[in-house]
């Protein structure tokens, strides 16, 4: 082969160890010694970093490790300045640091050197900025829905494991669906057996008639809680006691969380209803508005993956096999990709297998 007469393109590599308040920067120019300094997470130091990088008058490639969301403002600023950004895997950083230094010690000095080494050897991936690619709003919707749902589960757990066992343990058998809002409304109106038995059966049925919603044989359905309240083993506390007032505070919070979650689901459906990818995802069995939102928020533009295997690897659904000599282990999912995407598809599969009419039920 004839050696190429074209000179190699001079590139300046910059590795940034991101933290909440102070970032460590290590720069290796094409010629000269490495430069290291610490910068504060503020606009002044952002401008200084931009000026120092432009001063090299060469293409600049910047690598960093995702650290929570602390890297997002700096990465957006550098992207707007026209620099090429590369994301380096935390797993790759940890394994390389242990291999290079043969120790478990971890500090910012070593991290920037490892980041620079991985950046120069090409062990990195293209950084996909959520704000630039218009998925930041979707991510906030998905994250807020997750936090509201998590808090709802915590409050619901408190109701089922603390308040009901103390004051009305027999009422738990009427709880059949986590989305049945009538149950907490009924408990808020009648939080203890004394709140029910102070009425006659007919008066109780009249008071609770509009609360429980549509039921088959509603009168018979309401007669059973009345009999149960008369035989309850719960603590004999009054409806106006401080304990029951605190119980009602928790019930009100549960109702507010349910309403807030439903509002976010409706808002997500309105925002995404015009997107073709969202409409295609909704045709899959088990995929509802929130799962489709989560998939689009975490994956971004699905068309940026040229092959479906790249998307599977991004999710962590690619197969991994342990092999050594004559031994070959069982192929399993690598689970090294986006955990939220795997969770969304797992939830969709759980819903699909319970549906009566779909092909997933037979597999």
Digit-by-digit pLDDT tens for the chain (363 residues) are 444 444 456 899 999 999 999 999 999 999 888 999 999 999 999 999 999 999 999 999 999 998 889 999 999 999 999 999 999 998 899 889 888 888 777 788 889 999 999 999 999 999 999 999 999 999 999 999 999 999 999 999 999 999 999 999 999 988 888 777 889 999 999 999 999 999 999 999 999 998 988 877 888 888 999 999 999 999 999 999 999 999 999 999 999 999 999 999 999 999 999 899 999 999 888 899 999 999 999 998 888 888 999 999 889 998 888 888 888 888 888 888 889 999 999 999 888 888 776 666 565
CATH of domain 138-266: 1.10.287
Alpha-carbon distance 75 to 66, whole Å? 10
Instruction: Say what the pTM is.
Output: 0.84
Domain boundaries, the chain: 12-129, 138-266, 273-362
CATH of domain 12-129: 3.30.420.40
Alpha-carbon distance 360 to 363, whole Å? 5
């Amino acid at each position: 082969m004839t050696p190429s007469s074209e000179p190699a393109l001079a590139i300046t590599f910059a590795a940034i160890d991101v933290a909440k308040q102070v970032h460590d920067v290590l720069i290796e120019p094409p010629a000269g010694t490495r430069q290291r300094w610490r910068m504060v997470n503020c606009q002044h130091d952002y401008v200084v970093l931009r000026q120092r990088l432009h001063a090299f008058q060469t293409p600049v490639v910047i690598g960093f490790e995702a650290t929570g969301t602390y890297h997002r403002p700096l990465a957006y600023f550098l992207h707007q300045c026209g620099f090429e950004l590369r994301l380096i895997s935390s797993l790759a950083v940890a394994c390389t640091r242990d291999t290079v230094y043969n120790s478990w010690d971890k500090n910012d000095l070593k991290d920037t050197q490892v980041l620079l080494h991985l950046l120069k050897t090409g062990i990195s991936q293209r950084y996909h900025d959520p704000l630039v690619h218009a998925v930041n709003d979707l991510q906030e919707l998905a994250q807020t829905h997750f936090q509201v749902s998590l808090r709802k589960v915590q409050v619901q757990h408190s109701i089922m494991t603390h308040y009901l066992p103390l004051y009305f343990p027999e009422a738990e058998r009427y709880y059949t669906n986590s989305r049945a809002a009538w149950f907490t409304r009924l408990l808020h109106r009648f939080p203890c057996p004394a709140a029910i038995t102070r009425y006659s059966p007919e008066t109780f049925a009249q008071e609770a008639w509009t609360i429980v919603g549509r039921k088959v044989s509603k009168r018979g359905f309401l007669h059973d809680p009345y009999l149960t309240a008369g035989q309850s083993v719960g603590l004999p506390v009054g409806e106006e006691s401080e304990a029951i007032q605190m119980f009602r505070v928790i019930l009100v919070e549960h109702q507010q969380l349910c309403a807030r979650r439903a509002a976010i689901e409706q808002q997500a459906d309105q925002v995404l209803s015009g997107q073709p990818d969202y409409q295609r995802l909704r045709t899959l069995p088990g995929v509802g508005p929130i799962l489709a939102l989560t998939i689009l928020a975490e994956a971004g533009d699905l068309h940026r993956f040229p092959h479906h295997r790249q998307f599977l690897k991004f999710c962590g659904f690619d197969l991994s096999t342990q092999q050594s000599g004559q031994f070959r282990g069982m192929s399993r999912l690598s689970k090294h990709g986006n955990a939220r995407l795997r969770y969304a598809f797992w939830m969709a599969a759980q819903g699909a297998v319970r549906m009566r009419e779909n092909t997933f039920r037979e597999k």
